[in-house]
Amino acid sequence: MSNYEGYKSPLSSRYASKEMQYCFSDQCKFSTWRQLWIWLAEAEKDLGLNITNDQIAQMKNHISDINFEEAAAEEKLTRHDVMAHVHVFAKQCPLAAPIIHLGATSCFVGDNTDLIVLRKALDILIPRVASVIHCLKSFAETYKDLPTLGFTHLQPAQLTTVGKRATLWLQDLLMDERALKRCRDDLRFRGVKGTTGTQASFLQLFSGDDKKVKDLDKAVTALAGFEKYYGVTGQTYSRKVDVEVLGSISSLGTTIHKMCSDLRILANRKELEEPFESTQIGSSAMAYKRNPMRSERCCALARHMITLYANAANTHAVQWLERTLDDSANRRLSLSEAFLSADAALLTLLNITQGLVVYPKVIEKHIAQELPFMATENIIMAMVQAGGDRQVCHEKIRVLSQEAGAQVKQFGKDNDLVERIRKDPYFQPILGNLETILDAKTFTGRAAQQVTDFIEEEVDPILKGYESVVKNIQIVTLNI
């Protein structure tokens, strides 16, 4: 079978970074298993078991040089992935063979490796979120004063600003940064707990010395770089941990989908556009098209992120008693795909936010079509201040508005309400102030100041923790 006749995940062949792919690679997984066996042996030796420096040195010499073909053959024979790798490692380290995996169960390497990988993967994702926040902050500041139509029910509503709208996306991303960081900081190590979590095998190794078993748990946890271990486990760490982690990734997916859906709507209105390269083809048939393919990709990946939460939740729900193995195949898919999808979506979103293009003239045109209707109350108030009768003015405006609306809806013409007001002698007292009354910036309230306040009070304090990250942001180019 050639390379083109077997299935390849698009997450690895098209979308996710090499950095994130390595986290979930066989090389990372099985070299981490070996590292865990070394940490276990070191801690057991320090606590008095008969393990030599030569045995540990031999293991260290073979952390990375894994014979994957031999391991696959062993697994086919034994039907047990951990024992297959124990056998292969033992052949490479004959001195250490008697003490590899001493006292441990399969979940010692399996679960602890998963926790190490989750931590590494979160350490990749969180700075990506911070980078997107940084780029969006700049965008919001640049366009904080630019009026644009607000929408409720996807219908034109009171004006906002382009920058203010961006703060809505920013606020969601700040919540995601908090959730992901909390997941990362809350992660603990499974440690050395034995087959059903009772540590019985280790208690036997240390001749019933309870303190040494606890010290072993602490020592291996520290060697792995964790501050804490889970105080109690079954055979596995609680799959509730996966629920929390994938929950935060699923929540990030909702943020990305909402933001990129907004961008697609705005692209449809030609008010805003994602980067579009000079050689990029929007459509195989319609050469003029500039499809928002990056935002569409983000939405597609985000939907996958959202659905994977159900996998984690349902898996935790059926972990009967101390554990069942129906979590294994599911987690091989859901954990890796959640992080690879999130990585790909964030890289694409970073590319988008580094090159968003705004078209003020189009935005101005759309405002001009709706603002006259929105300004009618201000016009009435100005007429009253000039000595007019509110009820008479209201009726005048109502009639002219209906006539202008008919021109727009029935004949597809521009909104000509302002011209009708100019031509009506009744409104002569306020014509000199009409341009001021219709100034779009007077309809945006505190939007611009809200942007400034939000960035100073909410965004900057978070970005302060990522100064080295934002200082070294690279321009993202998408391979495909």
Residues 209-224: tens digit of each pLDDT: 999 999 999 999 999 9
Residue 7 has pLDDT above 90, yes or no: no
User: Which of the pair, 152 or 291, is modelled with greater confidence?
Assistant: 152
Residue 367 has pLDDT above 60, yes or no: yes
Q: Which of 247, 243, 251 is nearest to 314 (CA)?
A: 243
* DSSP single-letter state for residue 430: G
Does the active-site annotation cover 80? no
Q: Which two tokens stand for residue 43?
A: 């801690």
Residue 66 has pLDDT above 70, yes or no: yes
Whether 118 and 32 have beta carbons less than 8 Å apart is answered as no
- What pLDDT is recorded for position 408? 85
Query: Which whole number is the average pLDDT over 160-183?
Result: 98
Per the prediction, the chain carries an average pLDDT of: 92
Q: Which of 154, 346, 368, 354 is nearest to 268 (CA)?
A: 154
Residue 38 has pLDDT above 70, yes or no: yes
Residue 463 has pLDDT above 60, yes or no: yes
Cα Dmax for the chain: 105
Residue 287 has pLDDT above 70, yes or no: no
Q: Let me know how many helices (H) and strands (E) the chain has, helices first.
A: 21, 4
Residue 81 has pLDDT above 70, yes or no: yes
Kindly report which listed range (199-208, 390-399, 406-415, 446-455) carries the lowest average pLDDT score.
Answer: 406-415
The boundaries of every CATH 1.10.275.10 domain in the chain are 11-99
Q: Which two tokens stand for residue 444?
A: 């945006």
Residue 285 has pLDDT above 60, yes or no: no
In this structure, whether the domain defined by 376-437 belongs to CATH 2.60.40 is answered with no
Residue 357 has pLDDT above 90, yes or no: yes
The boundaries of every CATH 1.10.40 domain in the chain are 376-437
Residues 172 and 258: their CA atoms lie apart, in Å, by 10
Write the Ramachandran bin of 51: left for phi over 0, alpha for psi from -120 to 50, otherwise beta.
Answer: beta
DSSP, collapsed to helix, strand or coil, labels residue 149 as strand
- What pLDDT is recorded for position 461? 97
Residue 446 has pLDDT above 70, yes or no: yes
Does the active-site annotation cover 153? yes
* DSSP single-letter state for residue 475: P
Whether 430 and 387 have beta carbons less than 8 Å apart is answered as no
Query: Which whole number is the average pLDDT over 116-121?
Result: 97
Residues 367 and 49: their CA atoms lie apart, in Å, by 78
- What pLDDT is recorded for position 91? 95
* DSSP single-letter state for residue 446: T
Residue 289 has pLDDT above 60, yes or no: no
Residue 479 has pLDDT above 70, yes or no: no
Query: What band does 307 get if pLDDT is binned at 50, 70 and 90?
Result: very high
Q: Determine the CATH number of domain 106-276+286-359+459-471.
A: 1.20.200.10
Whether 254 and 306 have beta carbons less than 8 Å apart is answered as yes
Q: Which two tokens stand for residue 65?
A: 């040089």
Kindly report which listed range (255-269, 351-365, 429-443) carries the lowest average pLDDT score.
Answer: 429-443
* Cross-strand partners of 151: 156
Q: How many CB atoms lie within 10 A of CB 116?
A: 21
* DSSP single-letter state for residue 473: P
Which candidate in 13, 64, 80, 283 is catalytic? 283
**Residue 237, amino acid:** Y
Task: Name, in order, each residue with C-beta under 8 angstroms of 167's C-beta and a sequence gap of 6 or more.
Answer: 140, 450, 451, 454, 455
- What pLDDT is recorded for position 409? 85
Which candidate in 153, 207, 284, 468 is catalytic? 153
Query: Which whole number is the average pLDDT over 401-429?
Result: 88
Residue 290 has pLDDT above 90, yes or no: no
The boundaries of every CATH 1.20.200.10 domain in the chain are 106-276+286-359+459-471
Q: Determine the CATH number of domain 11-99.
A: 1.10.275.10
Residues 366 and 269: their CA atoms lie apart, in Å, by 9
